[in-house]
Structure 1
């Protein structure tokens, strides 16, 4: 029987040993049991061997085999080998070496940076505004290197020519081209030299910066910028400090507002018309918002994570308690406002008293007129005063203008201005009343 081709795909009930097609499952079973009995015995013997080995291992019947199996399983385990104390070898500490290298490098950079800061201080101090004088001043502070023998830019290695001119760093005096130059704003330079000075806003326009800035090489600029970053990090405010400053600002706004509220309340109780009830309610609402802001910021400060019992924790709790005491004693204990009926009653009484004073003043003027003589007083009154009063009166125009200013000040809650304008309005009203009395007389 020729062996079938290995590349040929066979189908049917094939014998796994001789690859014969038996056509059915029963014929395949009979064929395998009758012709391939030896192969079946070999498979059975192998199964018996593995089963016996498994039984011995599980039942611990053979100690040698069990030991061999355990050794194979624990070959890489620490339980197989006895624990031995490890001997520490030779060690060497490199801390001193690292500290020495770091100290030398920091000292070199710190010394070089300090030299640059001294030169920068001399440059920005009394710097002339005229370009030629400024150039002479810069060369006096930092001598410039002689560039007669320098043909290439040390930074970009490009040749100098008519379009690529030679320039000098104002801090080290080295030579570089324009493209390799970095400009430091004068205001920033002054803030670096003297951190107490307020730093002005730097110009975003590159041309303005180049015109007003100091030309530096990249190395000097990086050292100066590093020092500026260190200064900014030291002067940077933490979140706690920022919240505390905001809380103090709200407290500073609340104190004059409370004083103004008391003044306005007293004005209402006195029956004055300088303020009205809506003005006082608006100011009271503003004080309430300030109290809410102070309370919120104080709670935020107290909730910052901190180790309990430390000085920082005591400080945060003290800030919270002080804020709560301020709100309770200063902002929540405001004077109770009068009602509309009370205000109307007080103003009515005040108006009656004013009318009595006006009547008394009128009677006094009449008595003085009688004393001086009826004819002289009447003729003088007709000559000096005009009985006709209309809207063209300057006093009325001034009073209308002041009323407009008062309306605008009330919208912006500027009650100090309202008080001043109302006082001026009262003076004009008195003058107008006196003018009307003199006209009637």
Structure 2
């Protein structure tokens, strides 16, 4: 504390009356009680205030905390700060002013962005591929500023020289250096001016050859426009789940048709498919049904206001998915047993053997009819010395390998085509064998 006579600053446990330094709080209290009796009321009031504050903080007072606090506030307000009810004065709403300022700012940004988009559309449309013609095309769309009097880059304030050349923004025509340039890929620019254009997945290096040179301000406005388009075209969680469910339904439809075809092949006794193939296809259909059921439940459980149009739509989607699973995916034809398949194939084999026997008899009659003509003309075809050298056997082995790979990957449409080719080769091989024997 500073004394009244000079600017000397005193520190320590000072007596507020005589300014004596008592070195400790206890000595200061004893000194004040013994030498300054007339100030005891002030000390007592200070002790009461600190005591009540301590009790309130520690919550050791028996009285209610809220009542004590209200009473203390009321006492202090009456003694030191008389309460006066404040009247409400004149008020004014600034909402219209804020809206006007905001609208003007948004209008300025919107107008400037639309102007840049129009220029960008003209730049990317019919852009020449040759660099010299492209530069002329860019200058025709956006006039470039005269940089003869510009000595420094407006963005980084660095001087232009032989190594730091002057460049122009392709959208506003302003001058900047290469380090302050931002390049916009032409594919992205075309997607901005035409959102329906499919975007390419290949990421190209952004440089002067395949990008538009922009300043930071124009690049910022173009990026804002791109973000608005992306947010507008962004799909909701509900839409994403519905599209995934429809994709699974599209996969399940041909899978069910293939399953029916495979079952019918087993019932007909054909060897194109076996029971393991059909069981694998049935398991695939089961997994698709589980995925459709899970996604439809997620759609139905999506939070929405009850009794609204969206709530009815979500319920209808769930009911349609349940009906589709029950009627189309779970009501598949029952598979035949191994005994039934063996019996059908045995009967089919016997019919095939009878057909082969008839074919042999017909070939034998034909051979006897031609008889000596073939021997006299020397046109008899000699069979190969070894069957292993027959190219048909090699082709059949290759096709069997393809069939094995297709079965492993559940490509049963390809299995059917390969099995058909294998049967044709077997018939051709049997015909050759019969011809050689004859």
Q: TM bucket by the smaller chain?
A: 0.7 to 0.9
Contact 1:182-1:215 at 8 Å conserved across structures: yes
Separation (CA, whole Å) in 2 of partners of 1:116 and 1:171: 6
Separation (CA, whole Å) in 2 of partners of 1:246 and 1:144: 50
- Distance of aligned partners of 1:85 and 1:277 in 2 relative to their CA distance in 1, 3 Å threshold: same
Separation (CA, whole Å) in 2 of partners of 1:73 and 1:136: 80
Query: TM-score, normalising length from structure 1?
Result: 0.78
Query: TM-score, normalising length from structure 2?
Result: 0.79
- Distance of aligned partners of 1:160 and 1:389 in 2 relative to their CA distance in 1, 3 Å threshold: same
Q: Aligned to 1:237, what secondary structure does the other structure show?
A: coil
1:185 corresponding residue in structure 2: 185
Cα deviation, residue 408, structure 1: 1.0
Separation (CA, whole Å) in 1 of partners of 2:202 and 2:177: 24
Cα deviation, residue 230, structure 1: 0.3
- Distance of aligned partners of 1:379 and 1:389 in 2 relative to their CA distance in 1, 3 Å threshold: farther
Instruction: Please identify the structure whose Cα radius of gyration is greater.
Output: 1
1:374 corresponding residue in structure 2: 371
2:230 corresponding residue in structure 1: 232
Specify every segment of 5 or more residues in structure 2 that has no aligned partner in the other structure, as ranges: 1-20, 23-29, 31-43, 45-69
Cα deviation, residue 100, structure 1: 1.5
Separation (CA, whole Å) in 2 of partners of 1:221 and 1:238: 28
Specify every segment of 5 or more residues in structure 1 that has no aligned partner in the other structure, as ranges: 1-5, 8-16, 18-45, 47-69
Separation (CA, whole Å) in 1 of partners of 2:269 and 2:77: 99
- Alignment pair present for 1:412 and 2:409: yes
Count of aligned pairs: 371
Separation (CA, whole Å) in 1 of partners of 2:129 and 2:252: 46
Deviates more, 1:384-393 or 1:285-294: 384-393
Separation (CA, whole Å) in 1 of partners of 2:253 and 2:167: 59
- Distance of aligned partners of 1:307 and 1:380 in 2 relative to their CA distance in 1, 3 Å threshold: farther
How does 1:13-412 map onto structure 2 within 5 Å? 74-75=74-75, 88-201=88-201, 203=203, 205=205, 208-370=206-368, 372-376=369-373, 383-386=380-383, 388-412=385-409
Contact 2:299-2:318 at 8 Å conserved across structures: yes
Contact 1:250-1:294 at 8 Å conserved across structures: yes
- Alignment pair present for 1:429 and 2:426: yes
Separation (CA, whole Å) in 2 of partners of 1:72 and 1:118: 70
Instruction: After superposition, give the CA deviation of every residue in 1:171-192 in whole Å (9 maximum; x if it has no partner).
Output: 0000011111111111111110
Separation (CA, whole Å) in 1 of partners of 2:71 and 2:209: 84
Cα deviation, residue 170, structure 1: 0.2
Contact 1:203-1:209 at 8 Å conserved across structures: no
Cα deviation, residue 363, structure 1: 1.4
Contact 1:385-1:438 at 8 Å conserved across structures: no
- Distance of aligned partners of 1:308 and 1:164 in 2 relative to their CA distance in 1, 3 Å threshold: same
Cα deviation, residue 132, structure 1: 1.3
Contact 1:405-1:421 at 8 Å conserved across structures: yes
- Distance of aligned partners of 1:125 and 1:272 in 2 relative to their CA distance in 1, 3 Å threshold: same
Cα deviation, residue 292, structure 1: 0.8
Separation (CA, whole Å) in 2 of partners of 1:210 and 1:310: 54
Deviates more, 1:338-347 or 1:389-398: 389-398
Deviates more, 1:336-345 or 1:382-391: 382-391
Q: Aligned to 1:89, what secondary structure does the other structure show?
A: coil
Instruction: After superposition, give the CA deviation of every residue in 1:231-278 in whole Å (9 maximum; x if it has no partner).
Output: 000001111111111111111111101100000010011000001111
Instruction: After superposition, give the CA deviation of every residue in 1:43-69 in whole Å (9 maximum; x if it has no partner).
Output: xxx9xxxxxxxxxxxxxxxxxxxxxxx
Deviates more, 1:333-342 or 1:84-93: 84-93
